[in-house]
A and B are shown apart, each in its own frame.
Chain A
């Protein structure tokens, strides 16, 4: 009985230990994912994210840094999640920047059309 109980605890410890290991997940750092996320952030910045989506690009950068810190602590699973969050925020920042610029261009185009129409009206009045 005694022996059996000891055996059981050993077994249990093994199970828990294995489970924890599995939960900690990957054994390799998500290097490629971090690089890709970094690239998306750079593209977003090139598209003007600092101006058009400052909050989103900031969140992406913070999460990428957290992901890198997680890698240093060898918490690779956590690093993968953070990198994925950083990437999706960077994507949002990029599309916000592109959309903001396009909407600005639309406004400028509308304004130039309005000015041209006013000019036509003026030409017709002075006839």
Chain B
């Protein structure tokens, strides 16, 4: 019997030395739990089935080794391999998912590129149309301005106005008025009508009405008469719906004669009303003489 004990004792030592497996191998446990998590991840199952299978095989091998009570270092080694295989499966799934998204997104990018080109060409067409519209309206404006300039020229001819440094000047002779009076004769109304039409057409233009006389009679009489005649023209225009604030009047009496007062013909030329038409800003430069 003591011999038998002696024989069994070293064998027992040998068994313990070979490493009886512990109740649990922590590395194997964590490798198993990580694998189970990966296996439940549909992305990994879908995108990395082969890598997942390799991880499973590595894990099964570890499990078998542990169950057959293999050395702890060996079980740890295979548990490590199984763990890394699980990580590889997860990463492979990410790689494959990214690659399939790359090919899908590339298709989408091509489509979007086409959309960009289409929207760019639509925009440039729209811009071209806009430019065309603008050019057309500019041409229309230019044509309109030209027409208005021609009309103005025609109106000026109708008024028998003459261009001067102060602007267009229209001279109404004394034949408009009874001698010594400021009422406008019916024959003169035609000129007033033309002037009213012109002022209605060109609301930006104002006028200055200046009255003049010859040297017959007192200076103060002539001054008053020249003012009355200018005002008479103004009220005739106002009664034809021209705004009073567009019309200035001034009387110069016998000053500023245009002809010699020694003859009848000269005096007749001096008895007059001059109407100065403003520029487009509505300003009339005052008489400087």
Q: Is B283 an interface residue (CB 8 A)?
A: no
- CA A124 – CA B101 in complex, angstroms? 28
Contact A16 B102 (CB under 8 A): no
Decide yes or no: A120 and B102 within 8 Å by CB, A91-B88, A99-B91 being known contacts.
Answer: no
- Roughly how many angstroms separate A92 CA and B48 CA in the complex, as a whole number? 14
Interface string of A109-127 (1 = CB under 8 A from B): 1101100110110011011
Interfacial chain A residues near B3, Cβ < 8 Å: 5
Q: Which one of B102, B122, B123 contacts A105 once the chains associate, using CB atoms below 8 Å? A: B102
Residues from chain B with a CB closer than 8 A to the CB of A89 are 84
Are B109 and A113 in contact, CB atoms less than 8 angstroms apart? Answer: yes
When the two chains form their complex, are residues B112 and A120 in contact, meaning their CB atoms are under 8 A apart?
yes
- Judge whether B92 and A113 touch: CB under 8 Å: no
- CA A101 to CA B242, docked complex, whole Å: 83
Docked Cα-Cα span, A92 to B77, in Å, equals: 16
Indicate if A21 sits at the interface (CB-CB under 8 A). no
Per-residue CB contact flags for chain B residues 188-213 toward chain A (1 = under 8 Å, else 0) read 00000000000000000000000000
B285 → A minimal CB distance (Å) = 49
A88 smallest CB distance to B (angstroms): 4
Select A123's contact among B7, B85, B95, B122, beta carbons within 8 Å. B122
Contacts of B14 in A (CB 8 A): 16, 19
**B252 at the binding interface (Cβ < 8 Å):** no
Give every chain A residue within 8 A of B101 (Cβ-Cβ): 106
**9-residue interface stretch from B27-35, B37-45, B113-121, B273-281:** B113-121
Q: What would be 8 A-B contacts, judged by CB atoms less than 8 Å apart?
A: A8-B7, A85-B81, A92-B87, A99-B91, A119-B119, A126-B123, A127-B122, A127-B126
Which A residues lie at the B interface, using CB under 8 A? 5, 8, 12, 16, 19, 81, 84-85, 88-89, 91-92, 95-96, 98-99, 102-103, 105-106, 109-110, 112-113, 116-117, 119-120, 123-124, 126-127
